[in-house]
Amino acid sequence: MVLESVINAVFQVFLFSVIPFIWWFFSARKEQSFLTWLGLQKPVIENKGNYFLWFVFIIILLFVPLTTISYFYLDTSTLATNRFTGLGFSALIPALFHSIVQTGLSEELLFRGFLMKRFMHKFGFQMGNIMQSLLFGILHGLLMFSFIPFGVVVLVVIATAFVGYLLGWINERKSNGSILTSWAIHSIVNLIAAFMAMFNIL
């Protein structure tokens, strides 16, 4: 399970980075390094207290609606964390790779790193953030479209688009464009969900 999790995580990061890398190579490699271009750099934080409050507030704001939707409307067997159900600490390393690398890093590279920054460059912050968050929500809805009712799909799209918007906002407004902030938040929320599955909470 550990080896499979590592392979899956590395493969997904590679897969989600291919198009951004090709785009960067032909458009921006002479101006910026690939990682800087994506925002994978140390955040510049002007007010650490304010930043910390927003960081914690967004984790809570993301966790509550997503957990509520999962509990009331989704069959837990359809969730990515289902494979950790009841395994306890034996699933710790796979859960870490799944939460931090496979989903957290790969999705932040693609959505807040690549798509949002390209959309912002073209349409400005507000429209760029809305566009990437809608795509983020729609992708999650499409992944569940075939096995949950349409009304629940809409809820998933709205909730995950809201998540995407907040992650984009805190990166650009509180972290000077660094996606490390959204990666950390995304990973923490995923880890909480994985731990709940591991120990059969809810």
Residue at 158 is within a domain: yes
Quick check: is 1 in a domain?
A: no
Q: Are 46 and 37 in contact (CB under 8 A)?
A: no
pLDDT in tens, 3-61: 999 999 999 999 999 999 999 999 999 999 999 999 999 999 999 999 999 999 999 98
* Domain total in the chain: 1
Q: Is position 26 within any domain?
A: no
Q: Is residue 122 a part of any domain in this protein?
A: yes
Residue 45's pLDDT is what? Answer: 95
pTM of the model: 0.94
Residue 38 counted as domain residue: no
Domain membership flag for residue 18: no
Express the helix, strand and coil content of the chain in percent, nearest 5 each: 80, 0, 20
* Domain enclosing residue 103, as ranges: 47-198
36 in any annotated domain: no
**Is residue 174 in a domain?**
yes
- How far is C-alpha 156 from the chain's CA centre? 14
Whole-number Å distance between alpha carbons of 140 and 133: 11
pLDDT in tens, 147-193: 888 999 999 999 999 999 999 999 999 999 999 999 999 999 999 99
Mean pLDDT in residue range 67-73: 82
